[in-house]
A = this chain, B = another copy of it.
Amino acid sequence: MTNSSSERASEFELIAKVFAPLSAPGAYGLTDDAATIRVLDGAELVVTADLLSADVHFRAEDEPRLIAKKALRVNISDLGAKGAKPVGYLLSLALPRNWTMPWIESFAAGLREDQSELSVSLMGGDTTSTDGPLIVAITAFGTVPSGTMIRRNGAKPGDLVFVSGTIGDAGAGLTALKGELPNISARDREVLVGRYLLPQPRTGLGQALRGKVSAALDVSDGLLADLGHIAETSNVRILVSADRVPLSDAARKAGLRVPKAATAGDDYEIAFTAQASRRADILRAAADCGCPVTEIGRVEPGAGVALLDSSGREIPVSRKGYRHF
């Protein structure tokens, strides 16, 4: 970002010009202090918040359009994994003091594009300045029929374990961005980097899985770490067959191996467990929404998560996922 006073606007002008056009009916054109959300009888609201910070969750030099999309998508991904239908979001921004209108306009353009794609609208938020790096804090809202949010705590011994899409692409994309994958093709690089910069929330799949699965979450910290969260809250042990973990062609060609893929973050796929009797039902639902789903393991009594080789031996994994501190 460069600084030019002629390119600046006040907080109020910024809201009116850039953000108000993105707003939902209950947000009153962002001219009020709060928004209202009506929830249909028999439904309940699902709420989730994720805060992204420059140089932790994205690179400060990333295109603002992509920063906006990533921040929105990681929140919508949480709703998706919980089986919720996305409705809207609140956006709180702490802008470094050298922000410019072109930067903000690109950021807003990213939101506008994703609002159409994800069927959500801006409901409000806050805009302020900071002496530190850019912070994007989003709260996202969705709805489910009351009592049907897919929890983390329902996995039972005997359940099967599934994951959508492919694992490890985003991690490989970040490695490529750092210049550490010099020998991959331009096309593969684009695929992997795209997976890092632009997660695809599995909202259609999540809604289709409601009522069919015993536990779910989105893979953000890394497949094994996130399955570990299900194991912990469900009081079970989760076994993952390394040779079943789905890798993309691009990731394979980049030399990615399963232990690394299963501990990389930012996949934003849905990992879930379900009774074995639900297998056909789940694969049909996945096919109907055009979402690849792979069976990768099983649940047993115990605790923790283990990655197994083809002979059933545990593959040692030093670090199961990303931790912020």
Q: Which A22-79 residues sit within 8 Å CB-CB of chain B?
A: 28, 31-39, 41, 44-53, 55-57, 78-79
Chain B CB within 8 A of A117 CB: no
CB within 8 Å for A130 and B128 given contacts A47-B90, A82-B34: no
**Residue ID in chain B nearest A234 by CB atoms:** B31
Q: Quick one: CB contact mask for A169-187 with B, threshold 8 Å, 1 for yes?
A: 0000000000000000000
Within 8 A of B (CB), among A175-209: none
**When A146-B38, A233-B32 are in contact, do A49 and B90 touch as well, CB less than 8 Å?**
yes
Q: Which of B36, B50, B149, B233 meets A92, CB within 8 Å?
A: B50
Within the complex, the shortest CB–CB distance from A11 to chain B, in Å, comes to: 5
Q: How far is the CB of A233 from chain B (nearest CB, A)?
A: 5
Interface size for A (C-beta < 8 A) is 70
Establish whether residues A36 and B31, one from each chain, have CB atoms under 8 Å apart when the complex forms: no
Q: Is A295 an interface residue (CB 8 A)?
A: no
Query: CB < 8 Å: which of B51, B55, B81, B97 contacts A33?
Result: B81
Interface pair A36/B41, CB less than 8 Å apart = no
Closest residue of B by beta carbon distance from A225: B12
> Are B123 and A51 in touch, CB under 8 angstroms?
no
Residues of B within 8 A of A38 (CB): 39, 44-45, 146
* Residue A84, interface by CB 8 Å: yes
Give the residue name and chain of the B residue nearest to A9 (CB): B325
